[in-house]
Structure 1
Amino acid sequence: MNTQGKRIDFNCDLGEGCGDDAAILPLVSSANIACGGHAGDEATMRATLRLCRQFGVAAGAHPSFEDREHFGRRAMPLGSDVIATMVHTQLALLARIAAEEGMRLSHLKPHGALYNVAADDREVADAIAATVAAFDPSLVLFGLSGSALTEAGEAHGLHVAHEVFAERGYDHRGRLLPRGTPGAVIESLDQAIAQVHRLATRGEVVADDGFVVPLRADTLCLHGDRHEAAAFARAVRDALEGDGIAILPVGSKA
């Protein structure tokens, strides 16, 4: 398959206090930095931003439900106005620290349950997109490929990045399988690399029922809190480069 001219952003959720950020960051092109909701504090945000600057990695906000006990992976029944305020507060905090470090944020990607809710709930998606657009319309909004969040981002005039996942399983709708269900997290490196290859070169993924789902792949995520995340990141980068695909932040010039 001809991959000449193909590119993809390779992102990772970082600043969560549970992975080897310094080993992962040289291998990715974008970092989604926890900004106090599910993990992180001002010290970890500053440290992660400095690593991003050191390795030339695009830095983005990774807001979440304010639920450290469950690492932001439990849906909370909040109104859209509360969600908008929550996202703004976390984004503004990270943006302030970035400015103090002489840096600008490039994107925003919701975390965990907030991300998954926004994939199907247009009201929540609109609250997030409107908040981002009002705060800084130059920010790229990352959302699950083909979801309500990417649709909302476009409706609010944002540049959106359709996101796919290296080591998460999918259902026949192109949604992520809920954590805790069989196949939700791909533990096998070989299986993850096969999925990365198919997503990056064909724009498709094989769902849990065998159905082939077409997906736009602007940015590829690897979770920084997974086991041996740095080794996974190296293998994913090698696989992408082996396929002749350029790894670049969304919106950057080749």
Structure 2
Amino acid sequence: MTIDINCDLGEGMASDADVMPYITSCNIACGGHAGNKKSMVATIKLAQKHQVKIGAHPSYPDRKNFGRKPMDLPAEELLATLLSQLRDFEEALSKTDATLHHIKPHGALYNLAAKDLDTASLLVALIKTYYPEAIVYAPYGSVMAKTAKENGLEVWHEVFADRNYNDDLSLVSRSDPNALLHRPEDAVTHLEKMVKEAKVQTVSGMTQQILADTVCVHGDNPGALALTKAIYKAMKN
């Protein structure tokens, strides 16, 4: 029984190098919500050093809000900015002789694609056209996961160890006091149930089916290093 441990990196946090030994894949900011060409190359090199799989983490072009607020962009404009970000990431990959493993949308774009068919279809069409070999990281049961599979793309279902779930498997809003699991031991218990039993206990107390191929740790979380170490140790055991 295995699970991939992924982390959002290249976002300007000081802990990237400390977290890297305890993860197996990383999602690197492509300049939309954070990062630039220089940080992409540096983070890719760090991932290569630790044999960590490399993924692109495109987002809404919104550095002010760190890509965490939906933007009402025309489809053509959204497609253009995402393709621009991914082209910059391609350039960084070529400079480091690295290979793209996966693509994971960031923040509000990820959340919207999970439930909105138009957004999911736009992302899937982009990936299928330009990066058909890339694995798509998406939540289990989401519109994004279903659309990607229907289009022949490989999907890894992503879960969150430190986030509580609603009954429909959406994440509890960060504005809710019950959104986060703050203690690493609680997050590990939460994750173990998802990995071993393919089930998750929601914030209301219900138990729902879920699949977990990869677990995310947010690199901008102040407790990211402690949480990643705890997950790494538990999953290794």
Q: Return the TM-score normalized by structure 2.
A: 0.97
Contact 1:19 1:224 in 2 (8 A): no
SS in structure 1 of the partner of residue 7 of structure 2: strand
SS in structure 2 of the partner of residue 183 of structure 1: coil
**Alpha-carbon offset, residue 241 of structure 1:** 1.3
Q: For residues 110-154 of structure 1, what are the alpha-carbon distances to aligned partners after superposition, in whole Å with 9 as ceiling and x for unaligned?
A: 000000000000110010011011112100011112100111111
User: Structure 1 CA distance, aligned partners of 2:82 and 2:180?
Assistant: 26
Is 1:174 matched with 2:189? no
User: Structure 1 CA distance, aligned partners of 2:74 and 2:167?
Assistant: 29
Contact 2:41 2:95 in 1 (8 A): no
Residue 118 of structure 2 corresponds to 123
Residue 57 of structure 2 corresponds to 62
Residue 246 of structure 1 corresponds to none
Is 1:7 matched with 2:2? yes
User: Structure 2 CA distance, aligned partners of 1:205 and 1:182?
Assistant: 19
Q: Which has the higher contact order (CA 8 A, sep 6+)?
A: 1
Residue 200 of structure 2 corresponds to 205
SS in structure 2 of the partner of residue 18 of structure 1: coil
**Alignment-mate amino acid for residue 221 of structure 1:** C
User: Structure 1 CA distance, aligned partners of 2:75 and 2:115?
Assistant: 14
Residue 46 of structure 2 corresponds to 51
Residue segments in structure 1 that go unaligned for 5+ positions in a row:
1-5, 243-254
Residue 209 of structure 2 corresponds to 214
**Alpha-carbon offset, residue 62 of structure 1:** 0.3
Residue 90 of structure 2 corresponds to 95
Contact 2:195 2:211 in 1 (8 A): no
SS in structure 2 of the partner of residue 173 of structure 1: coil
Mean Cα deviation higher: 30-39 or 192-201: 192-201
Aligned residues: 237
Q: After TM superposition, where is structure 1 displaced by more than 4 Å over at least 4 residues in a row?
A: none
Mean Cα deviation higher: 114-123 or 197-206: 197-206
- Between the aligned residues of both structures, percent identity stands at 37
Residue 235 of structure 1 corresponds to 230
User: Structure 1 CA distance, aligned partners of 2:155 and 2:82?
Assistant: 17
User: Structure 2 CA distance, aligned partners of 1:77 and 1:217?
Assistant: 31
Residue segments in structure 2 that go unaligned for 5+ positions in a row:
none
Q: For residues 223-242 of structure 1, what are the alpha-carbon distances to aligned partners after superposition, in whole Å with 9 as ceiling and x for unaligned?
A: 11111211211110101112
Residues 69-218 of structure 1: pairs in structure 2 closer than 5 A = 69-218=64-213
User: Structure 2 CA distance, aligned partners of 1:180 and 1:158?
Assistant: 33
User: Structure 1 CA distance, aligned partners of 2:98 and 2:67?
Assistant: 26
Contact 2:11 2:34 in 1 (8 A): yes
Q: For residues 183-241 of structure 1, what are the alpha-carbon distances to aligned partners after superposition, in whole Å with 9 as ceiling and x for unaligned?
A: 11221212111111111111111111001111111111111111121121111010111
SS in structure 1 of the partner of residue 200 of structure 2: strand
User: Structure 2 CA distance, aligned partners of 1:70 and 1:37?
Assistant: 11
SS in structure 1 of the partner of residue 64 of structure 2: helix
**Alignment-mate amino acid for residue 12 of structure 1:** C
